[in-house]
Structure 1
C-alpha cells in the first residue's frame, strides 16, 4: 500500500525533512488534497487558506535546504481552533451572533507555533460559544465524525478532532474547559491532551480553560506541547516552560493506578465503554501496574452547581448583545440561559464554589494514586444533529462527569483510543495525573498503545 504523506506523524516529517528525503511542499500538497477530498462531508475547517499554506511550505523548504530550520515544527502542517486568535482572521466563537472583527495579533499558542515554523493550513470549527460537546453551530456548517458521518465529532474542539482522524496534517490545537479536547478526541479515536492549567498560555484565562493538542500519537502531542509551553504576559496564570523532555517508558511496573468506572453522576456508562476501559486497565495490570477500583470523585451537587454558575456567566454574555444579535444565538443555548434569572445570588455563589469542591476532591484522589484511568465519556459518539447527547438544553452536562473535574482541579488529562463499539465507533480512555505531570501522562498513553491491539485504519476516504 502506498504511503500517504498526509498521514505521516510530525515526528516522522521533521526527521525526513532533516534527512532531505521529503519536502514540506510535497506534504502540504498531500494534506490539501486530503482536505479537498473529505471536507465537503466533514466540514471541519474554517478560514482554510491553501495559498498561504503553500507559501509557508515553500519558505520552509528553502530553510531546510540550507539546514536552517527556525524551530522544531518547521514545515509541519497544523490547524488551530477558531477561538484561538490568529492575526488577520475573525474569531466567531462558533456563533452567528459574533461581530466578525479581524484579530490583530496571534494568541500566545498560535504565536509560538508560528515561530516554531509550523504551517497553519486552516482554523477549525467549534460549536456555539464552545458550550456544546457537538459540532452544532449557527456560524459553521455541521462538523461530522469521520468514522461515521451520522455521528458527532464531539466538541467543542469539533473540527480539530475530525481533522486529526481524517489526516488533515498531524497536529491540531484545541481548547478545553469541561472536556472540549478530550471528548471529541475520544469520539474520533485520537490522542487529546488537556495540559495542566497554565502550561500553555491562554490569551483570555478563565478557571478551567486550557489549550492543548489533538494528534494521532502521544509523541506528536508531546512535540506540540513542547513548542507551546511557557509564560506569556497576556496570561498571568501561565507557567514556566517544561524542563523535562518526552521519552517512552520501558515499564509500568509498580505504578499505582485508580480505575474509575462510575462517575457517580450523569449518564450511565455504556456496557461496551466499560468493557473496553476495563480491558485496557487489565493490560496495564498484567505488566505490573497496581490497578484498584476507586469510588466516584464528584457529586451531583458539584455538577449541578457548576451548571448554575456557567448558566449565569453565559447569560450575562448573551444578554449584553444587541437584540438583533442575541436572536441569532442557537435556540438550545438561549433555552439553557433563560433559566439564569430564576437563580438567587446564593445559588450562583454556591455554584461557583463547586469548582473548588471539585478541585479538592480530585486532589485527594492523587494522594494515593499516580494516575486515574476512566472512560472519557460514558457513551460513544451520539447523532451529529443533536446539540447535547440528552437532547435537553436543561440537562447539558450529563456526559462530562469524567472530564470536567480535571478542568476545575487544573490536573492534566489525556485520551487514547482503547477499542471500538460493535458499530465501529472509537472508545476513548482517559488518563489523569497529578498537576504538572503532563509528559508522564503522555508516556503512559504511549505505553498503553503498545499493549492494546493496533488501531483500525484511519477513516481517510
Structure 2
C-alpha cells in the first residue's frame, strides 16, 4: 500500500512510533497528486513547498513529543473554507480574487492540530450545483469513471478522497454537497449536527464536515474541528456524544426507499440499500420501511426561496461580473422575479415544515437509512442530473431534509452498480449523535461488499 493510502489514524500511530515521517508521507501524497491530477482536476491553490515545510515542522514536533492529534496528516480544504492568503472564488469567475485575511474556524482547528493543509479543492459554481461544473475551476472528474461527475458542490474533495490524495478532506453542505459527492465517489461524507462545526458565515442548513475513506477518520476529524467560535453565533459548545457503544440488537432503524418528490430511485441503488438494511436486520436490528418524509410542496418551496436568495446575490454584482456567472445559474435565478413575496414566504415556511417532518420521523427510530442519491454519478459536464436549470433539485430529496432539520447524516459506500459506480447509503441520526452515525457507518464498512480503490485512474 502506498503511504498516500494510509488512514489518518494509522499515520498518527506510525509517526508516534517513529516508523514514518510526515515528510515521507507528504512526498508520497504529492506524487499521487502529480500523477492523477491532470485527469481529475480536484485541486486548487496546491502548494507543495509550503506543505513540505509544514511536514518538516511536524516532524520536529514529534521529536519533541509535542505533536497534536492530526500532526503531519495531509489534509485538503474545500476552496470556500477560507485559508489565510488564498482567494476564495466560490467556484465562479464572477468573484474578485482577494486573498483571505485569516483561516476559517475549521481550517484554523486543523492547523492547530498539526495537520498539513497542502491544497484547497475545487467546487461548483457558487456551491449551488451537485456537480463539478464551474466557470473558475477546471472540470473535476470522478476517479471511478472519468466520464462521470464526482458530484458537488464538494467535487474536488470527494474526488481527492477516492483517489487517495491523503486521508482527510473538508467539504461544505447546504443540501447534500458533502454527502452526494461522497456517495458518488464511494467514500465517507458527514454533514454534522448544525453548529457542531463553526461555519463562520452561518446560514440555515449550511454545515462543514469531513470527507474520508473511513468512518474512523471522519470521527477523528470531527472531534478536532468541532467546538464554539466567536465568528459563528450558531456554533455549539464542545460535544459529548452518546457514550453507549453501538449495539444493533434492539436498535430501531427506519428504511426510506422513496423520498417522495424527485427523480425515481435506480433499481440497483434500491437493491444495494435494501441489502444493507437486511444485513443489519440479520444481526438484531429492527428494520421498518417508512413512507416519504417530505412532499413536493416542501421541495418546491425550498427551491423558490433559494432562487430568490441567489437572485439577490447576483443582483448585487456589477453587470460585468454578473455576466461571468454560469449561464445555467443565471437562467435559474432569472425566474425569481415571477415569484411574489407570498411565494417566497411560503417557500421559507416549507423549509420549516421539512424540518418538523424529519423531527417527527425520528420519534420512533434510532437511525433513518436511505439512498444518498436516487441515481448513480451522471456525466461530468452536466451541471444538473436533469440537465435542466429549472429542475435543479430533483436529486436532493434524500439529503436536503437533514440540512433543514439540523440532524447529522453520513454516507457510506454500500455497493457498486453493474458498471462499477459506487452506491451511497445515507445514515441519519438524532441531533448530536454524529459519532453514533459514524459508528454504524464503520460497522457497515466491514460487512458490505466493496471494490478496490481506483488509484490507477483509467483514461
Which category describes the TM-score, using the shorter chain as reference length? Answer: over 0.9
2:242 and 2:436 in contact (8 A); partners too: no
Residue number in structure 1 paired with 2:38: 40
Residue number in structure 1 paired with 2:118: 121
Residue number in structure 1 paired with 2:232: 235
Q: How many angstroms apart in 2 are the aligned matches of 1:269 and 1:317? A: 33
Map residues 344-383 of structure 1 onto 2, 5 A cutoff.
Answer: 344-383=340-379
* Deviation by residue 1:215-257 (Cα, 9 ceiling, x = unmatched): 00000000000000100000000001122499974x4111100
- Equivalent residue for 1:14, pick from 12, 15, 21: 12
SS class of match (2:189):
strand
Residue number in structure 2 paired with 1:212: 209
Residue number in structure 2 paired with 1:169: 166
Q: How many angstroms apart in 2 are the aligned matches of 1:31 and 1:354? A: 45
Residue number in structure 1 paired with 2:455: 460
1:418 and 1:428 in contact (8 A); partners too: yes
2:259 and 2:294 in contact (8 A); partners too: yes
2:241 and 2:433 in contact (8 A); partners too: no
SS class of match (1:151):
coil
1:219 and 1:246 in contact (8 A); partners too: no
TM-score (norm 1): 0.98
User: C-alpha root-mean-square deviation of aligned residues, in Å?
Assistant: 1.0
Residue number in structure 2 paired with 1:134: 131
Pair 1:418-2:420 in alignment: no
Residue 449 of structure 1, CA deviation: 1.5
Residue 285 of structure 1, CA deviation: 0.2
Pair 1:149-2:149 in alignment: no
- Equivalent residue for 2:70, pick from 45, 68, 73: 73
Residue number in structure 1 paired with 2:321: 325
Q: How many angstroms apart in 1 are the aligned matches of 2:243 and 2:190? A: 14
- The gaps in structure 2 that reach 5 residues or longer are none
Q: How many angstroms apart in 1 are the aligned matches of 2:268 and 2:161? A: 24
* Deviation by residue 1:155-202 (Cα, 9 ceiling, x = unmatched): 000000000000000000000000000000000000000000000001
Map residues 220-369 of structure 1 onto 2, 5 A cutoff.
Answer: 220-244=217-241, 249=246, 251-369=247-365
* Deviation by residue 1:416-439 (Cα, 9 ceiling, x = unmatched): 000000000000000001110100
* Deviation by residue 1:98-132 (Cα, 9 ceiling, x = unmatched): 00001000110000001000000100000000000
- The gaps in structure 1 that reach 5 residues or longer are none
Q: How many angstroms apart in 2 are the aligned matches of 1:148 and 1:447? A: 27
Aligned length: 456
Residue 66 of structure 1, CA deviation: 2.0
* Deviation by residue 1:374-393 (Cα, 9 ceiling, x = unmatched): 00000000000000000000
Q: 1:344 to 1:169 in 2, by over 3 A?
A: same
Q: How many angstroms apart in 2 are the aligned matches of 1:412 and 1:340? A: 31
Residue 355 of structure 1, CA deviation: 1.1
1:247 and 1:443 in contact (8 A); partners too: no
2:78 and 2:121 in contact (8 A); partners too: yes
Q: 1:248 to 1:166 in 2, by over 3 A?
A: farther
Q: How many angstroms apart in 2 are the aligned matches of 1:9 and 1:221? A: 10
Q: Which range moves more in the overlay, 236-245 or 254-263?
A: 236-245
Q: How many angstroms apart in 2 are the aligned matches of 1:288 and 1:246? A: 20
Q: 1:247 to 1:367 in 2, by over 3 A?
A: closer
